[in-house]
Structure 1
Amino acid sequence: MWPTSVEALRFYHTFAFSPGRQRLIGIFIVFLIATFFVTSDADADAVPAPGPSPDPSLGAGANPFLLESLVKRLPKKGDKREILISYLAAVPTLMGEIDQYLLNLSASNSAQNNSKDRESFSKKLNQIVHCLTTDAYVSVVSGALVAAIVEINQDKTIIPDYQLKYVFGNTCGNDSHSTRLFMEHWQAGARVFIGPEKNCKTEAAMAASQNLPIISYRCNDQDISRDDYHYRTFARTVPPAGEIFKAFMALMKHNDWRKFSVVYDVKKGQSKNELFDTLLRMMETENKFEEHKFQIMNVSRLEFTKMDISSQQDIQSVENAIKATMKTTRIYLTFDNVRLFRTMLSIMGEMGLTDDGYMLIYVDTNYDWLNVYHAMNNHFLRNTMTYLHHSWDANNSSDRKMLDYARNALSIIPTPVKLNSQRFYNFWKRAGEYMHHFGVQKTDNLKFQGNRIACYLYDAVYLYARAIHELVDEYGNDDAYDPTADGKAIIDRIVNKKYKSGFGCLY
């Protein structure tokens, strides 16, 4: 069973497509999905939060070559005890001294006749390219961390005897680098870890071994549970992506559909897909209580040569999967690859299956949709790689045909949150003041589209601070007790608690 610690009511939208507009069907599946955990250890020293201008003691540099010297600068501030927050994320920038990168590359490339030097040069160059091509959204949302820290430090009603500081480590989307940064931040005195935003299983196990709290605002790992001793100090302010399959199972039960086939893709060289494994576990659990069991009739695991599934070889592999299974199934399920969904729907339509009672269900774990129309018009039905005059505006375009095919398609997405409240507007404006510390040029952040992930990051800092505050109130001035080192107690004061999010919503 999935953990449901701080239990927040969320909705997943299931919607059908109709020509020219979207039509919501009457299935809003409500269930408990968010999880939260936390813990801590070691004496707290900290790096100052960003001020109006960069400071060498920030410890916010993303340059892995400079990190060690930065994180060891741990100034005290008055009589306040300082808690160092480690923030691990992947941002597409090379903050710090760019000259240092060039010198390292030049040194690696100085002796072209040496194969080891050429290999080192190539490796470092690839690392930089990979770092610069990570998701840009993290740079935009990262200001929310600093906004929360500044607010808490200025608020005399929350841990007034403590000062929060942070040190930033740019993982560049590299798991090994993330692990090294975790260890360096821990050695520097970090008390709590925020992130990383992609894979977090290794960091969660390391944090638990030191009785330290780690709170993720966007972790993809499906099987991390507080019930597992190895991850007992882990929390997340957003549920794992696989939770959306609860909505899929509810949809199937509601319509008394029990049999379906699955088509999904895996990355080149990989054989596993965590979302598919989650679906299997969820089906196994459901079947324990169902007289009429759910049954997967066929499974097609595809590996594409191009991400956009544009090559004839890739398209043919999808068509072959459908032709090989169409006699034994009427319902197809695919997930987390909108291009695969579009390709399947187009092929099914051209084969006449959408006119013959076949159904395609698509599950999307993306949390960035503004509304159902935004999801349908910009991704699900329209090919965003082409101009509008080649898409909706062209009478015989493939996108126009998709509208008709989509009569037999359903999609399940996380319910979009309207980021238009005054509370969110004010929060987004404050967070924008610190974006430039994470590689985004300082500008009017309201030009950037509001991002709900920023709220999950903001909430993570506040949940931790409030848990510490409760422990301080409970134990008073007991010098023998350090609340930041009592992980179990911190967890107990976070789970099953209501709080007001950066969205303005009550969870």
Structure 2
Amino acid sequence: SKIEQVVLGALPLAIATVNSDPNLLPGIEMKFLAADIGRSNADSLAALGIRIMTEMRDSGTVAFIGPDDSCRSEALVAAAWNLPLISYKCEDPEVSDSRVYYTFARTLPPTSKISKSVVALLRAFSWTKIVVVCETRPAWSEKLKDYLQNYGITVMDTFTVNDYIPIFESKLDDIVTATYLRTRVYLFVGEHIALVDFVKCLQKRRLLYTGDYIIVSVDDKIYDPQRRIDITQRNYIDPYLPDRNMSQDVKFGFRSVLKLTPTHIINPNFKEVCERIKNYSVRPPFCVPYHSEIFKTIAMPIQAAYLYDAVMIYARAATELLAEGEDPRNGSAILSKIRNRSYHSLQGYDVFIDKNGDAEGNFTVVSLLDDEETNGTFKILSMQPVGYFQYSDNDTGGIPRFRYINPKREIQWVGPEPPRAVPECGFTGELCRDDVDEELDDPSSNINDWRDWRLQVALLAATALVVVAAVFAFKHYRYEQKLACILWKIELKDLTMIPSDVSDSCNEKSV
């Protein structure tokens, strides 16, 4: 995109830095030629790139910086000419073979480095079934998918997004519509402007309020602590969009986003350097379209630092060769001064380039956490570093481990626990139905059910008999109690009255 072309200003800035440093290439002025060869992953454009490289070589060029995207053909030609080629944006995994591309190096960590961190994060939370939304970048689509499959992560589906602008939001909405019922984990590899709209599409269905979904985003933009609170805002475009009232939904939705970004810049002067890069980018020969509002708000892509570093490590290597009396046009000699060494990056820390000429990646996971630096009665969430990736001392190319920076400040999940890769009963309830079917189809289970049924009937019958006997016993007891309490009576008609004079005469006679 045009915004990403602002990184080109790092090239003339680095050249100016080299020429002003008396310790780098003393007595020699470094100059550069620029050429646009398009997206070199197409075969026809690869031929164009090689033709332009040939013209540059014939005009006296002694080293190449670039190109973008795929660089396999260009790196092979540079090796044939024994001229160094140092890339700042090429992610092609094929060129990580120093036996073939022996004059090639890059300051951009290749996809294999980034893929390891992605796999480590997914495995840390058992997210083994995912949907990938990715830019149209062959290196990503090939290498990343291979890594995912090799480490037991199933890719349910893959969708591509490239050169995104908000008028294409319907494409993202179609992706959500096609996938949200059969996934809970999205791996989003794309620009931040597209990520914001992707979260918006999920929130239109209120999917990120339940804690069931998670988005793992691979972001090549530099994390800026100064913009940690308004990380979801795109001030250069959001105020002009018709659905800007969704901003609060999007902000809450970012609680379900984990961004994997290059490690935070520690160079205290980096912000000023970025402003100088922007100023150089609008000048010839690049002439990047300038808009004051856009230039104020955009975050500088990390490729700007990679491009600056590419020029500087070449200048350092060439300076060392000149001091030893060797030819700086010797590409293999230049690379011997670059491989298996560290250099101090514009980002403020040292970066190691391995034996294949690949820069090691330093990546951090950021997520929304309670902001402890803000004042007020209401809690404010901001994007903050939460985790990193640790390789073991005896690592031989394996996957690193995800570690929390501060164990007391873990990821603040929307739900009580991390989202599951698959719901407990499956996406359509199929896992629970399978359990029931297995029980019904199991003969031993049927026998046990039959025995349990007979036992239950026997117990029910015995209980009934006990209840009946108890009722009769109670009634008999109550009857005896009533008899004992009755007062006996004799009806008057049943009595025979004997007169008292008869009794007296009888007594007299007897006397």
Q: Normalization by structure 1: what TM-score?
A: 0.56
State the SS of the aligned residue for 2:34.
Answer: strand
Give, as a single letter, the amino acid of the residue that structure 1 aligns with 2:11: S
Counterpart of 2:230 in structure 1 is: 377
Q: How does 1:94-243 map to 2 (within 5 A)?
A: 135-152=4-21, 155=22, 157-160=23-26, 162-171=28-37, 175=45, 176-219=47-90, 221-240=91-110, 243=113
Shift in Å at residue 202 of structure 1? Answer: 2.1
Q: 1:502 to 1:252 in 2, by over 3 A?
A: closer
Confirm or deny: 8 A CA contact 1:141 1:435 kept in the other structure: no
Confirm or deny: 8 A CA contact 1:226 1:232 kept in the other structure: no
More contact order relative to length (CA 8 Å, sep ≥ 6): 1
Confirm or deny: 8 A CA contact 1:319 1:344 kept in the other structure: no
Q: 1:240 to 1:401 in 2, by over 3 A?
A: same
Once residues 31 and 56 of structure 2 are traced to their aligned partners in structure 1, the CA distance between those partners, rounded to angstroms, is 12
Once residues 340 and 425 of structure 1 are traced to their aligned partners in structure 2, the CA distance between those partners, rounded to angstroms, is 27
Counterpart of 1:37 in structure 2 is: none
Shift in Å at residue 149 of structure 1? Answer: 3.9
Larger radius of gyration: 2
Counterpart of 1:405 in structure 2 is: 253
Show CA shifts across 1:367-412 (max 9, x none). 34434845x735x4668633189777xxxx2221223333333222
Shift in Å at residue 207 of structure 1? Answer: 0.4
Where does the alignment leave 5 or more consecutive residues of structure 2 unmatched? 352-511
Shift in Å at residue 192 of structure 1? Answer: 0.8
Q: 1:454 to 1:295 in 2, by over 3 A?
A: closer
Once residues 97 and 247 of structure 2 are traced to their aligned partners in structure 1, the CA distance between those partners, rounded to angstroms, is 46
Counterpart of 1:335 in structure 2 is: 189
Confirm or deny: 8 A CA contact 2:305 2:345 kept in the other structure: yes
Once residues 167 and 302 of structure 1 are traced to their aligned partners in structure 2, the CA distance between those partners, rounded to angstroms, is 33
Which is richer in helix? Answer: 2
How many residues were matched structurally? Answer: 341
Once residues 107 and 80 of structure 2 are traced to their aligned partners in structure 1, the CA distance between those partners, rounded to angstroms, is 21
Once residues 313 and 159 of structure 1 are traced to their aligned partners in structure 2, the CA distance between those partners, rounded to angstroms, is 51
Give, as a single letter, the amino acid of the residue that structure 2 aligns with 1:142: L
Once residues 430 and 381 of structure 1 are traced to their aligned partners in structure 2, the CA distance between those partners, rounded to angstroms, is 23
Show CA shifts across 1:89-126 (max 9, x none). xxx9xxxxxxxxxxxxxxxxxxxxxxxxxxxxxxxxxx
Once residues 493 and 450 of structure 1 are traced to their aligned partners in structure 2, the CA distance between those partners, rounded to angstroms, is 33
Q: 1:312 to 1:425 in 2, by over 3 A?
A: closer
Q: 1:372 to 1:180 in 2, by over 3 A?
A: farther
Show CA shifts across 1:453-503 (max 9, x none). 4443332223223223333444x4xxxxx4324333322221232333334
Confirm or deny: 8 A CA contact 1:204 1:234 kept in the other structure: yes
Give, as a single letter, the amino acid of the residue that structure 1 aligns with 2:177: E
Counterpart of 1:345 in structure 2 is: 199
Confirm or deny: 8 A CA contact 1:142 1:435 kept in the other structure: no
State the SS of the aligned residue for 2:30.
Answer: strand
State the SS of the aligned residue for 1:387.
Answer: helix
Show CA shifts across 1:63-92 (max 9, x none). xxxxxxxxxxxxxxxxxxxxxxxxxxxxx9
Once residues 437 and 419 of structure 1 are traced to their aligned partners in structure 2, the CA distance between those partners, rounded to angstroms, is 28
State the SS of the aligned residue for 1:334.
Answer: strand
Shift in Å at residue 214 of structure 1? Answer: 0.5
**1:493 is matched with which residue: 323, 331, 337?**
337
State the SS of the aligned residue for 1:215.
Answer: strand
Shift in Å at residue 312 of structure 1? Answer: 4.8
Q: 1:389 to 1:197 in 2, by over 3 A?
A: closer
Q: 1:420 to 1:336 in 2, by over 3 A?
A: same
Q: 1:408 to 1:417 in 2, by over 3 A?
A: same
Q: 1:340 to 1:163 in 2, by over 3 A?
A: closer
Where does the alignment leave 5 or more consecutive residues of structure 1 unmatched? 1-91, 93-132, 288-293, 477-481
Once residues 383 and 319 of structure 1 are traced to their aligned partners in structure 2, the CA distance between those partners, rounded to angstroms, is 28
Counterpart of 1:17 in structure 2 is: none
Counterpart of 2:262 in structure 1 is: 414
Show CA shifts across 1:216-270 (max 9, x none). 1222x33143425332211112213563332222222333x14122132565xxx
Once residues 163 and 337 of structure 2 are traced to their aligned partners in structure 1, the CA distance between those partners, rounded to angstroms, is 48
Give, as a single letter, the amino acid of the residue that structure 2 aligns with 1:274: A
Shift in Å at residue 317 of structure 1? Answer: 4.2
Give, as a single letter, the amino acid of the residue that structure 2 aligns with 1:486: N
Q: 1:497 to 1:427 in 2, by over 3 A?
A: farther
Counterpart of 1:128 in structure 2 is: none
The reply to whether residue 275 of structure 1 matches residue 128 of structure 2 is no
State the SS of the aligned residue for 1:318.
Answer: helix
Give, as a single letter, the amino acid of the residue that structure 2 aligns with 1:436: R
Confirm or deny: 8 A CA contact 2:9 2:277 kept in the other structure: no
Choose 245-254 or 185-194, whichever is displaced more: 245-254
The reply to whether residue 464 of structure 1 matches residue 314 of structure 2 is yes
Show CA shifts across 1:136-189 (max 9, x none). 41453332243134225xx1x444365533333343557354332111001222
Q: Normalization by structure 2: what TM-score?
A: 0.56
Once residues 339 and 426 of structure 1 are traced to their aligned partners in structure 2, the CA distance between those partners, rounded to angstroms, is 23
The reply to whether residue 354 of structure 1 matches residue 208 of structure 2 is yes
